[in-house]
């Protein structure tokens, strides 16, 4: 599909948009916490993809390239997030096992609602990386590429986000 879209096939591009739009919108919504901004970022992302598709090389995954565009557009709308990402310092932390996640705690609609509220209350950077990791299913390396943060910083933010989410959901985990 990508190769066909690169050659100007609008039907192939439409299939790419249909396949990726829900994930792009979800990422933008989680990051920006505003439906209108998320819709704008989603639309602008695909406009930029269409314009830049001829320059896309298969040395990266299409999804990683697309999410990088989305994150950049979100950064433009969140100056605080951009400043925070630049000021982050990597700290030595003991990381939790990657197989452990908040997902196991989500066993009912009430817990899912509480989880969504807790994610929305995370600091911008933590909300972004936890969304990329657990809702978009990206690897740590892909997240580092998308956010342009060191791998250790990504792990630190995910660790802290998980810890905050666990505290927020503690009443439901007992």
Span 12-66, pLDDT tens digits: 999 999 999 999 999 999 888 889 999 999 999 999 999 999 888 877 789 989 9
Q: How far apart (Å, rounded) are the C-alpha atoms in residues 109 and 105?
A: 11
User: For residue 55, what is the DSSP state?
Assistant: G
Residue that finishes a domain, picked among 17, 45, 77 = 77
Q: How far apart (Å, rounded) are the C-alpha atoms in residues 129 and 50?
A: 26
Q: How far apart are the first and last CA of the chain?
A: 47
> How many residues in total does the chain contain?
174
Do 60 and 104 reside in the same domain of the chain?
Answer: no
Query: What confidence tens digit (pLDDT) does each residue in 50-60 have?
Result: 999 988 887 77
CATH classification of the domain holding 5: 1.10.1740.10
Residue 61: Cβ within 10 Å count: 12
Short-list 82, 85, 86, 66, CA closest to 136: 66
CATH classification of the domain holding 155: 1.10.10.10
């Amino acid at each position: 599909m990508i190769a066909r879209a690169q050659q100007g096939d609008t039907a192939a591009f439409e299939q790419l948009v249909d396949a990726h739009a829900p994930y792009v919108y979800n990422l933008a919504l989680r990051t920006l916490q505003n439906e209108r901004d998320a819709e704008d970022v989603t639309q602008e992302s695909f406009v930029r993809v269409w314009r830049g598709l001829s320059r896309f090389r298969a040395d990266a995954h299409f999804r990683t390239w697309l999410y990088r565009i989305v994150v950049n557009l979100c950064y433009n709308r969140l100056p605080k997030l951009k400043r925070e990402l630049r000021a982050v310092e990597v700290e030595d932390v003991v990381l939790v096992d990657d197989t452990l996640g908040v997902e196991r705690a989500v066993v009912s609609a009430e817990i899912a609602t509480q989880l969504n509220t807790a994610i929305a209350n995370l600091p911008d950077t933590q909300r972004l990386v936890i969304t990329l990791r657990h809702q978009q299913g990206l690897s740590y390396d892909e997240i580092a590429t998308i956010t342009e943060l060191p791998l250790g910083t990504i792990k630190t933010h995910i660790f802290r986000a998980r810890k905050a989410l666990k505290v927020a959901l503690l009443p439901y985990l007992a």
